[in-house]
Amino acid sequence: MKAVVLASGGLDSTVTAAIAKRDGFAIHLLTISYGQRHRVEVERARQIARALGAADHLVLDVDLRRIGGSALTTDQPVPKDRSEAERGKDIPPTYVPARNTIFLSLALAYAETLGASVIYFGANVLDYSGYPDCRPEYLRAFEQVARLGTRAGVLGTGVEVRAPLLQMAKAEIIRTGASLGVPFHLTHSCYDPAPDGIACGRCDSCRIRREGFRAAGVVDPISYVDM
């Protein structure tokens, strides 16, 4: 039983991959190197694939800097030191236009070619309420595209999109990961790391991660620039 897992090298997708493995799937990791500012995560994804015993790991290049439109793919500044209230207000500038649709469509192609019936995807609605492409109704709409737009769908085998973290708080994700032995030390979350890959500690993603580890009562094993 095969599953494709979208693996960014981050915390959520790594916990998601561990869940897919626990669910009994041979996990085929797919990482998209899209020209993101925090490219260190692609190398982390390779280390995570080995640590989790993935059946294979495909790294695909799709240079979304050519399209732009996001602080993650241009020189736009990444917001720092925002409180939870500030983070929740708008779609953040780190939103990458249609990124999850691009990633899911590549995962769909990979799943169809492999004969995998499931795509695991680490979307999470609570912490990232500002990203439209992390909402449950969005994922259901994508499943409909998968059902109608593929050979697998026409033959009735289909491809299901599972987002097991969708409704979890970050602390719950971290506790779940801890119970599955996720190698947290390999995961990268920062949107704007130092040149050596060390997390800034201050972008939205770092803040959500740190608040989550604190709330979960788990020690975050990675280093931050400010500590």
Residues found near a copy of itself in the complex (CB under 8 A): 58, 60-64, 66-69, 91, 95-102, 104-106, 108-110, 112-113, 132-133, 135, 137-138, 141-142, 144-151, 153-154
- DSSP labels, 82-147: --HHHHTSS--TT--TTHHHHHHHHHHHHHHHHT--EEE----TTTTTT-GGGSHHHHHHHHHHHH
Q: Which is nearer to a copy of itself, 137 or 196 (CB)?
A: 137
Beta bridge partners of 80: 203
Residues 6+ apart with CB under 8 A from 42: 9, 31, 33, 59
Cα within 13 Å of Cα(27), Cβ side: 27
Give the nearer residue to a copy of itself in terms of CB position, either 127 or 220. 127
CB of 18 to a copy of itself, least distance (A): 24
Q: Which is nearer to a copy of itself, 53 or 66 (CB)?
A: 66
Burial class (CB in 10 A: 0-12, 13-18, 19+), 167: exposed
Q: How many CA atoms lie within 13 A of 142 on its CB side?
A: 27
- Output the smallest distance, CB 16 to a copy of itself, in A: 19
Taking the complex as a whole, the smallest distance from the CB of residue 225 to a copy of itself amounts, in Å, to: 30
Helix (H, G, I), strand (E, B) or coil at 70: coil
Q: Is 139 exposed, middle or buried (0-12, 13-18, 19+ CB in 10 A)?
A: buried
Measured from the CB atom, the residue of 108 and 165 that comes closer to a copy of itself is 108
- Which CB atom, from 128 or from 184, has the smaller least distance to a copy of itself? 128
Least Å distance between CB 149 and a copy of itself?
4
CB of 114 to a copy of itself, least distance (A): 8
Give the separation between CA 224 and CA 43, rounded to whole angstroms: 18
Q: How far is the CB of 58 from a copy of itself (least distance, A)?
A: 6
| Distances from the Cα of 63 to the Cα of 32, 39, 60, angstroms | 9, 12, 10
Sign, CA torsion 162/164/167/171:
negative
The minimum distance between CB 118 and a copy of itself, in angstroms, equals 15
